[in-house]
Each structure stands twice: as C-alpha cells, then as structure tokens.
C-alpha cells in the first residue's frame, strides 16, 4: 500500500520510512547485475537478447524495441539497464501510470537523445491516447503534436531521433495487438528454479560481505517464491538476524530461525498467504467462496488478495479459482495441518470443483 502526505502518520515516522525505502533501493541497485554475463537465470532470454544487441552493435544501429513480460521481481528493470549498458547508451525510466496524456509522452519522446533507451514500466497501464501516439513513435520515429482544439486544430509532425523502447508488463494480455506487434523482440520471464536462486543468494551475499554457507543459501532460496527480488530481501533480513542473534554466519538453522521471525514458512508463504488460506479453510470450510468475501475476512483490499497472494497460492497448488469461487485444495489442508470436513473431502474426490 502506498501512503502519501495526507495520511495521519507522524512526520518523523514518514521520514524514517522514506529513509528505509531509500536505503533498500540503494542496496537493490548495488546488487543489480551490470551486464548479461553477470545476470543469473533466464538462459533463453539472455541468449536471444545477446544476439539482438550484438547484431545491433555490429551494424552501428539502434537496438530493436524490446518487450519484457513476467511477474514482478524477475529482473525486467535490471535487463533494461543492461540493454542500455550493452549499447553504451543513456537510459530514461518512467511508467505507464505516469503517462496519462499524449502530451506527457510527447514531452518525454521529444527530449530523447539518439540511441537512448526509454524504459516504460507497467506499459499496459498507459492511457489510450498516449498508447496511440506511441505506435507512430516506435515505427516511424515521429509524433504528431496537436495544436489547438476543435476545427482549428492542426497536427505538427515532430521528428524523433532513433531510440530503443523497452516495455515491461506483468499482464501482457492487456496490451493491444498493434502495440505488441511493434516490438522487435519479446521475451517472457520465467520463475527461477531453487538452484538458480541459490546462485543469486551467494552472489548477493558476496556483494554485501555476508558469510553464508551452502545450506543457508538453499534455505533462503527455497522460501523465495521463485523470485530473485524476494531472495535478496530475505537475505538482508536473515543477515540482520545473524548479526544480532548469532556470529554473523548464515547457516541453515540461522536462516530458518530468522525467517520464522519474519513469518515466512518453509514453503515461502507469508502472513497474507496464510491468512487467506486460514480464512478459506476455517471460516468457509474450504470454499467455494467469493473473492470479495474472502478479502473482507482477511481485512485486505480485493486487489491485494487477487494480485499478491492468489497467484502464488494457485501456482503452489494450494488454491483453485472456480466459477463458484475460490476453493482450497487438499494440499492446503495438509499444509496447515487441518482435516477437511467430510463434505469437502468428498467434493474434492469427485473433482467437480476443479473443472475450471
């Protein structure tokens, strides 16, 4: 949840929170790989992207526009920075929600330098007028700026220097085909395997000057939900615990104890995930139950449950979305150590709740 200056939070608390956010951002920036050789995982994407960039450099041309899709935390922003570094070009970063008018986009595009990389995060949330302007900018490196209103309005063509657009989205299906088709290279970022995340943890621990043994790295990686950003965040919290409660060395026992303090269980479920499952099982007998009702039961916004908790729970096989509502799977009952009611067990056995 984002808080602004209209909240009732005391000023000193907001300043402390902002300082902590800046510190976390600085640490994340320091941990980002600087080139494709340092980037861990996403082997196919790295190989394909390397060919695209090397060919562009050999031709002395600007790289094709790139679309990166996938869940948050998999490295889309990092890859955009690597693209700029590999092409030895500056990068400008903005996001779809920040571009609500065509004029906003025109101002950004008109100030780009030749060869510059424009990273547009959450590109699916850009306004339709800006989106339509982007079509021409990507294809012809030109935009038409409308001056005036009504019958007297005129379009002034504005030539743009060649640039590379890197779009990132967590919901590629929301992009209209005309926009998607204008990208010369598209890639989907996959969740990481535990072995890959162990390499991420070891690399980050080295950069943070943290001692960690292989078992400690494996423990963190196994609870990171297939996401490097989460792995790095958990590593920093385990580091804090190891410095305060132990001798600084992260072992499997230390990592497990630290993550228990931060309410991350061995399967990677956090407080919200368990709250959703607990409400679904204990209050609603395993479902089916509507998303709005489930959200009220856990005291969270509907969007938070749907976009933060549900994707992981579904991917882990703990929850199913059906036409009649959300339903817990037998694995959910087993994970929380609960016994399903006879009616739920019977329904699960028949499979009629999991057909869609």
Note the pLDDT tens digit of each residue in 238-283. Answer: 999 988 888 888 898 999 999 998 888 888 888 888 888 888 888 8
Please compute the mean of the pLDDT values over residues 208-213 and round it to a whole number: 88
Q: How far is CA 243 from CA 17, 30, 210, 255, 260, in A?
A: 22, 21, 10, 12, 16
Please compute the mean of the pLDDT values over residues 348-355 and round it to a whole number: 41
CA distance 212 to 60: 44
Question: How many C-beta atoms surround the C-beta of residue 145 within 10 A?
Answer: 15
pLDDT in tens, 136-179: 888 888 877 666 565 656 667 778 888 999 999 988 888 888 88
Quote the CATH superfamily of domain 33-188: P-loop containing nucleotide triphosphate hydrolases (3.40.50.300)
* Residue that is written with structure tokens 């132990």 in the block: 246
For residue 22, the surrounding DSSP H or E stretch is: helix 11-31
Q: At what angle do helices 11-31 and 194-207 cross, to 10 degrees?
A: 110
4: which 2 tokens?
């602004």
8 Å CB contact between 212 and 204: no
- Does 273 carry a binding-site annotation? no
Question: How many C-beta atoms surround the C-beta of residue 121 within 10 A?
Answer: 20
332: buried, middle or exposed (CB in 10 Å: 19+, 13-18, 0-12)? buried
Architecture of domain 271-336: Orthogonal Bundle (1.10)
Angle at 122 between CA 118 and CA 127, to 5 degrees: 90
User: Among 8-22, 47-61, 171-185, 209-223, which is the least confidently predicted range?
Assistant: 8-22
Residue spans per domain, the chain = 33-188, 194-262, 271-336
- Does 321 carry a binding-site annotation? yes
Catalytic residue numbers read: 76-77, 121, 170, 229
CA distance 217 to 194: 10
At 218 the pLDDT is 92
At 173 the pLDDT is 82
Banded model confidence at residue 13, pLDDT cuts 50, 70, 90? very low
Please determine, looking at this structure, whether the domain spanning 194-262 carries the CATH number 3.40.50.720. Answer: no
- Does 140 carry a binding-site annotation? yes
Write a three-state SS string for 28-90: HHHHCCCCCCCCCCCHHHHHHHHHHHHHHHHHCCCCCCEEEECCCCCCHHHHHHHHHHHCCCC
Banded model confidence at residue 349, pLDDT cuts 50, 70, 90? very low
**Average pLDDT value over all residues in the chain:** 82
- Does 179 carry a binding-site annotation? no
- Nearest in space to 172 (alpha carbons), one of 73, 67, 93, 98: 67
Pick 119 or 6 by higher pLDDT: 119
User: Among 143-147, 181-185, 271-275, 297-301, which is the least confidently predicted range?
Assistant: 143-147
> What is the length of the chain?
356
- Nearest in space to 101 (alpha carbons), one of 129, 137, 134, 143: 129
- Would you say the C-alpha torsion 265, 331, 231, 77 has a positive or negative sign? negative
- Does 54 carry a binding-site annotation? no
* Residue that is written with structure tokens 């890959």 in the block: 196
- Nearest in space to 304 (alpha carbons), one of 1, 21, 3: 1
- Does 32 carry a binding-site annotation? yes
CA distance 309 to 297: 14
């Amino acid at each position: 949840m984002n808080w602004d200056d209209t909240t009732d939070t005391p000023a000193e608390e907001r300043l402390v929170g902002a300082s902590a956010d800046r510190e976390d951002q600085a640490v994340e920036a320091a941990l980002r790989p600087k080139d494709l050789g340092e980037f861990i995982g996403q082997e196919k994407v790295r190989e394909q992207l390397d060919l695209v960039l090397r060919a562009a450099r050999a031709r002395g041309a600007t790289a094709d526009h790139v679309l990166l899709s996938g869940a948050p935390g998999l490295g889309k922003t990092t890859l955009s920075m690597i693209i700029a570094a590999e092409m030895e070009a500056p990068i400008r970063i903005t996001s779809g929600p920040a571009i609500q008018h065509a004029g906003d986009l025109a101002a950004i595009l008109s100030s780009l330098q030749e060869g510059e990389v424009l990273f547009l995060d959450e590109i699916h949330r850009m306004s339709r007028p800006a989106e339509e302007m982007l079509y021409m900018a990507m294809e012809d490196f030109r935009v038409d700026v409308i001056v005036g209103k009504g019958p007297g309005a005129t379009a002034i063509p504005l030539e743009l220097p060649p640039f590379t657009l890197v779009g990132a989205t967590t919901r590629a299906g929301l992009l209209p085909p005309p926009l998607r088709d204008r990208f010369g290279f598209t890639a989907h970022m996959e969740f990481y395997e535990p072995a890959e995340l162990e390499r991420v943890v070891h690399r980050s621990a080295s950069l943070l000057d943290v001692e960690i043994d292989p078992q400690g790295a494996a423990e963190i990686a196994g609870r990171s939900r297939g996401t490097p950003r989460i792995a790095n965040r958990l590593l920093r919290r385990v580091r804090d615990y190891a410095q305060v409660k132990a001798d600084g060395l992260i072992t499997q026992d230390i990592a497990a104890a630290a993550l228990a303090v931060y309410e991350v269980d061995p399967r990677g479920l956090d407080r919200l995930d368990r709250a959703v499952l607990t409400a679904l099982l204990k209050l609603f007998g395993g479902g089916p139950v509507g998303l709005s009702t489930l959200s009220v039961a856990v005291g969270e916004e509907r969007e938070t449950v749907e976009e933060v908790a549900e994707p992981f729970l579904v991917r882990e096989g703990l929850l199913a979305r059906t036409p009649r509502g959300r339903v817990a799977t037998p694995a959910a009952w087993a994970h929380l150590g609960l016994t399903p009611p006879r009616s739920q067990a019977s329904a699960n056995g028949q499979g009629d709740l999991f057909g869609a």
